[in-house]
Amino acid sequence: MLQENQDAMGRAMYDYSSSGMKNPRIHEIVERDDGYIETDAGPAAYFMEYRRWPAEEKRALRYARGRVLDIGCGAGRHSLYLQGKGLEVVGIDNSPLIIDICKKRGLKHAEVVPIKQISSKLGVFDTVLMLGNNFGLFGSFQGAKRLLKKLSRITSKNARIITTSNDVYKTDNPVHLKYHEMNRKRGRMAGQLRLRVRYQQYTNPWFDYLIVSPEEMEDILDDTGWRLSRIFDSAGAYYAAVIEK
């Protein structure tokens, strides 16, 4: 669980929510370990209405069923949508502020649980959501394999994971290409980002965030009890995937 002074993203989202979702100047700063810095899209993305969601995300979400675990639930837009469809949804995040936002927005079941602390205490699930690029929360190749095996143990026999990522190789930005090469020399996957998030005086600890191509996703799934079932591509690098047992 993040400490108060570490919860940069949660604080930005909380401030945005408290403004009535009308302050467009609230942004997080994302810093990569090679010194690359960019401004995040901002908290508004976490509160986006269904009609504005990416088409591939909507298509993948149609495969949600049964009891749902939303990992890294953010402001709860996916959880609340499925809850409104009559599904039982449990949203988890490592930010107490984010979980507070979800509860205030009407999510019935929301808990502060970092991804690495997921356990059978949460119950058994039929669908696991890792949307909004949250395949990245696996962190690394081996970390993903360990967590996928854990998810296999707390899900039903026909369970699904619905997730999104970016094909890391669909870029011609020389800064990113140089970072890919630096990662390879360090024995890391090209899209294994080392990041931290800043907002005002709040700074997240450094963390690994894994961006993968569909082919790399298949390699990660091998021997975990999961297989890649469907891919929904966009016109760019972003894609959605349905993973099944």
Does the residue 21 lie in any domain? no
Residue 203, beta-bridge partner list? 198
Query: pLDDT tens-digit profile of 116-132?
Result: 999 999 999 999 999 99
Alpha-carbon distance of 189 to 239, in angstroms, equals: 19
Q: How many domains does the chain have?
A: 1
Q: In the structure, what pLDDT confidence band is assigned to residue 185 with cuts at 50, 70 and 90?
A: very high
Alpha-carbon distance of 66 to 27, in angstroms, equals: 35
Alpha-carbon distance of 106 to 36, in angstroms, equals: 37
Does the residue 85 lie in any domain? yes
Q: What is the CATH number of the domain that holds 58?
A: 3.40.50.150
Residue 21 has pLDDT above 90, yes or no: no
Does the residue 205 lie in any domain? no
Residue 147 has pLDDT above 80, yes or no: yes
Query: pLDDT tens-digit profile of 132-144?
Result: 999 999 999 999 9
Assessment of whether the complete model's pTM goes beyond 0.85: yes
Q: Strand locations in the chain, DSSP E?
A: 29-32, 37-39, 68-71, 89-93, 109-112, 125-130, 155-166, 192-199, 202-203, 207-210, 227-233, 238-244
CB atoms under 10 Å from CB of 160, counted, come to 25
What pLDDT does 146 receive?
A: 97
What pLDDT does 42 receive?
A: 79
Residue 105 domain boundaries? 54-192+210-244
What pLDDT does 158 receive?
A: 97
Does the residue 202 lie in any domain? no
Does the residue 204 lie in any domain? no
Residue 67 has pLDDT above 90, yes or no: yes
Does the residue 71 lie in any domain? yes
Q: In the structure, what pLDDT confidence band is assigned to residue 40 with cuts at 50, 70 and 90?
A: confident
pLDDT, average across residues 30-58? 92
Does the residue 179 lie in any domain? yes
What pLDDT does 4 receive?
A: 85
Alpha-carbon distance of 216 to 208, in angstroms, equals: 16
Does the residue 32 lie in any domain? no
Q: What mean pLDDT, rounded, does the chain reach?
A: 96
Q: In the structure, what pLDDT confidence band is assigned to residue 176 with cuts at 50, 70 and 90?
A: very high
What pLDDT does 180 receive?
A: 98
Residues 6+ apart with CB under 8 A from 58: 50
Helix (H, G, I), strand (E, B) or coil at 204: coil
